[in-house]
Amino acid sequence: MAVHHLLRRGVSGGSSIRGILLASQVLVLAHCSCGHTGSSIFIQLSFSSPAAQEIGRRPLSSAAAGDAAAELRGAREDVKKLLKTTFCHPILVRLGWHDAGTYDKNIAEWPKCGGANGSLRFEIELKHGANAGLVNALKLIQPIKDKFSGVTYADLFQLASATAIEEAGGPKIPMIYGRVDVTAPEQCPPEGRLPAAGPPSPAEHLREVFYRMGLNDKEIVALSGAHTLGRARPERSGWGKPETKYTKDGPGAPGGQSWTSQWLKFDNSYFKAGSGPSSSAY
255 occurs within a structural domain: yes
244 occurs within a structural domain: yes
The confidence score (pLDDT) of residue 57 equals 62
The confidence score (pLDDT) of residue 145 equals 98
Angle between helices 89-100 and 153-167 (to 10 degrees): 140
Q: What is the pLDDT of residues 232-270, one digit of tens each?
A: 887 777 777 888 898 888 888 888 888 898 999 999 999
The confidence score (pLDDT) of residue 250 equals 83
The confidence score (pLDDT) of residue 146 equals 97
Beta bridge partners of 231: 258
Q: Which of 168, 160, 148, 196 is nearest to 266 (CA)?
A: 168
Decide if 98 is catalytic. Answer: yes
Distance CA 171, CA 177 (A): 18
Per the structure, the count of domains in the chain is 1
Q: Which residues of 194-207 are buried (b: 16+ CB within 10 A; e: fewer)?
A: ebbbeeeebbebbb
**Cβ–Cβ contacts within 10 Å for residue 171, how many?**
14
281 occurs within a structural domain: no
158 occurs within a structural domain: yes
Parts of the chain with a pLDDT under 50 = 1-54, 275-281
- The pTM for the full model equals 0.78
154 occurs within a structural domain: yes
280 occurs within a structural domain: no
Percent of the chain that is helix, strand, coil (3-state, to 5) = 45, 10, 50
**DSSP E strands, the chain:** 27-34, 39-46, 231-232, 257-258
Terminal Cα-to-Cα distance of the chain (whole angstroms)? 14
- C-beta of residue 173 within 8 angstroms of C-beta of residue 20: yes
Beta bridge partners of 94: none
Catalytic residue (choose from 31, 98, 128, 227): 98
The confidence score (pLDDT) of residue 42 equals 29
The confidence score (pLDDT) of residue 274 equals 62
Distance CA 79, CA 146 (A): 13
- CATH number of the domain where residue 96 is located: 1.10.520.10
Distance CA 79, CA 193 (A): 28
97 occurs within a structural domain: yes
3-state DSSP assignment of residue 124? helix
Domain coverage including residue 236: 2-273
278 occurs within a structural domain: no
The confidence score (pLDDT) of residue 164 equals 97
> Could you write out the DSSP letters of every residue in 185-228?
GGGSPPTT-SPPSS-SSHHHHHHHHHHTTT--HHHHHHHHGGGG
